[in-house]
Amino acid sequence: MPAIRPRHLCSVAAALVLTVTAPATFAAASDSSAAALREVMFVGNNWDGTADVIKSTGDFAKVGRINVIPDKDQRMAEINADPIKWIYFMAIRNSVGEGHDQFVDDMYSTPDGTSVVVSRPSFADVVSIDLATGGINWRFPVSGYRSDHMAVSPDGKRVAVSASTGNKVHVLDIETGKELGSFGTGDKPHENIFTKDGKYIWNMAIGDVNTDSDAPWLDWTKGNRLITVVDATTYRQVKVIDMRQRLDAIGLKEHSDAVRPAVFSPDESKLYFQVSFFNGFFEYDIATDKITRTKTLPKNPATSDDRTTFVNDSRHHGISMKPDGSKLCVAGTMDDYATVVDRATLQEGPLVPVAKPYWATVSGDGRSCVVSESGADQVTAIDFATGRKTVSVPVGDHPQRVRLGHVGADWTGTAS
């Protein structure tokens, strides 16, 4: 593999399954208002407190930028006046954020393209920001002291957000911010996925990722890392999956069972997921409830195998799938590369050097994998057909989640 500089994962992440959620999320854009909308990608710059909006295909050129913390002074005044909130705020800064505040974890636009909904970990909330004025439409404080990954229902009307210290997922009306329901999870809920029919929500709880108790024999100290599946109408639990049992069954007792980013196959018969500390991913057959294949990806020889150096326990963090289901794209975070993997053979393509890739998503036309380079403050597109890099675009400080969405056809940024 090419010489690649080692970098460290600087914040927790994630996530999620754009092949399932992205096309359906914006189904409402197919009505008569579609002509007035433009498909884009939102790139959350976590340490900046901004989101860059770029084209969803082609040269991925920048369209505009959003300030996602216009109320920063007010929020900081509240935190400084409450000793408990201040302690958690500082804990997030000095652990998950590695000395930086976490101002944007995840984001989705409303179906009409007039607003973007953002989870803000350090402020423990979700806000809706008006894309015309830059003002806040509504704010929802989550349970506990930190918000995290989100998902949007296929009809674009509901947003699910993980309250990572509250061990709960809130489901909100995307237009009003009203809570429609909630459900309990394992420890530290992270990734959320709506099934494409909108009937179920899958949540992955990753446990405690900020401790140095990383040796395999100390795995039990990490908490309850479970996949919780709920009915997306009643929010009642349908199934709980403990990957510990499934990993043990195939002889991988020293592998972590903390499921990180994940992606469904197009027919949702298989789930492909990453776990803490592992340079690779697994294939899980939903009908048989078994892990059917394991893919180990190359290590960067310059990356230490010392688990305590993997920030937030991640080695690889970010996985997406080409819409036809033929290729996967994997972000090798700690190993500083991204690669396209043939789904049938699990053979990886070229290892594309990128700096601490934090997320992998799919372009609007389905031809490219787009990864956020949190170590280089840019996003990079990789062609699914060739596995080669096509273009990189500069963005803000520490890009993480990248999501497809919509803005008005003539939108070039918020007024403030």
Q: What is the pLDDT of residues 350-389, one digit of tens each?
A: 999 999 999 999 999 999 999 999 999 999 999 999 999 9
Residue 35 has pLDDT above 80, yes or no: no
Cα-flanking dihedrals φ and ψ of residue 279, to 5°? -90, 75
Residue 384 in domain: yes
Residue 2 has pLDDT above 90, yes or no: no
Q: What is the pLDDT of residue 409?
A: 95
Q: How confident is residue 95, by pLDDT bands cut at 50, 70 and 90?
A: confident
Q: How confident is residue 40, by pLDDT bands cut at 50, 70 and 90?
A: very high
219: DSSP letter: G
Residue 9 has pLDDT above 70, yes or no: no
Q: What is the pLDDT of residue 13?
A: 33
CA distance 360 to 358: 7
Residue 3 in domain: no
Residue 180 in domain: yes
- Angle subtended at Cα 279 by Cα 313 and Cα 287, rounded to the nearest 5 degrees: 95
Residue 23 has pLDDT above 80, yes or no: no
Q: What is the pLDDT of residue 118?
A: 98
Cα-flanking dihedrals φ and ψ of residue 374, to 5°? -70, -20
Instruction: For the chain, give the mean pLDDT.
Output: 91
Q: What is the pLDDT of residue 202?
A: 98
Residue 271: which of 255, 282, 256 has the closest Cα?
282
For CA atoms 296, 300, 305, 308, the dihedral sign is negative
Q: What is the pLDDT of residues 187-208, one digit of tens each?
A: 999 999 999 999 999 999 999 9
What is the DSSP track for 87-125? Answer: HHHHHHHHTTTTTS----SEEEE-TTSSEEEEEEGGGTE
Q: Which domain holds residue 48?
A: 18-408
CB atoms near residue 380 (< 10 Å): 23
Q: How confident is residue 34, by pLDDT bands cut at 50, 70 and 90?
A: low
Q: What is the pLDDT of residue 96?
A: 82
What is the number of structural domains in the chain?
1
Q: What is the pLDDT of residues 115-144, one digit of tens each?
A: 999 999 999 999 999 999 999 999 999 999
Q: On the CB side of 195, how many CA atoms lie within 13 Å of its CA?
A: 17
Over range 333-355, report the average pLDDT.
Answer: 98
Residue 12 has pLDDT above 90, yes or no: no
Q: What is the pLDDT of residue 30?
A: 42
Q: What is the pLDDT of residues 131-184, one digit of tens each?
A: 999 999 999 999 999 999 999 999 999 999 999 999 999 999 999 999 999 999
Residue 68 in domain: yes
Q: What is the pLDDT of residue 28?
A: 40
Q: What is the pLDDT of residue 94?
A: 87
Q: What is the pLDDT of residue 416?
A: 62
Q: What is the pLDDT of residue 25?
A: 40
Over range 77-93, report the average pLDDT.
Answer: 95
CA distance 413 to 133: 9
Q: Which residues contact 395 (CB under 8 A, 6 or more apart)?
A: 43, 45, 52, 54, 62, 372, 377, 378, 379
For residue 266, the domain's CATH number is 2.130.10.10
Q: What is the pLDDT of residue 212?
A: 87
What pTM was estimated for this model as a whole?
A: 0.90
Q: What is the pLDDT of residue 336?
A: 97
- Angle subtended at Cα 188 by Cα 49 and Cα 115, rounded to the nearest 5 degrees: 35
Residue 10 in domain: no
Over range 77-103, report the average pLDDT.
Answer: 93
Q: 313, 301 in Cβ contact below 8 A? A: no
% of the chain at pLDDT higher than 70: 91
Weakest-pLDDT range from 70-74, 308-312, 384-388: 308-312
Residue 13 in domain: no
Q: How confident is residue 32, by pLDDT bands cut at 50, 70 and 90?
A: very low
Packed helices 72-80 and 83-94: angle between N→C axes, nearest 10 degrees: 110
CA distance 332 to 280: 8
Q: What is the pLDDT of residue 98?
A: 81
Residue 413 in domain: no
Exposed, middle or buried, 393 (CB in 10 Å: 0-12/13-18/19+)? buried
CA distance 383 to 367: 6
Residue 11 in domain: no
Q: 409, 61 in Cβ contact below 8 A? A: no
For CA atoms 177, 52, 144, 164, the dihedral sign is positive
Q: Is 242 helix (H, G, I), strand (E, B) or coil?
A: coil
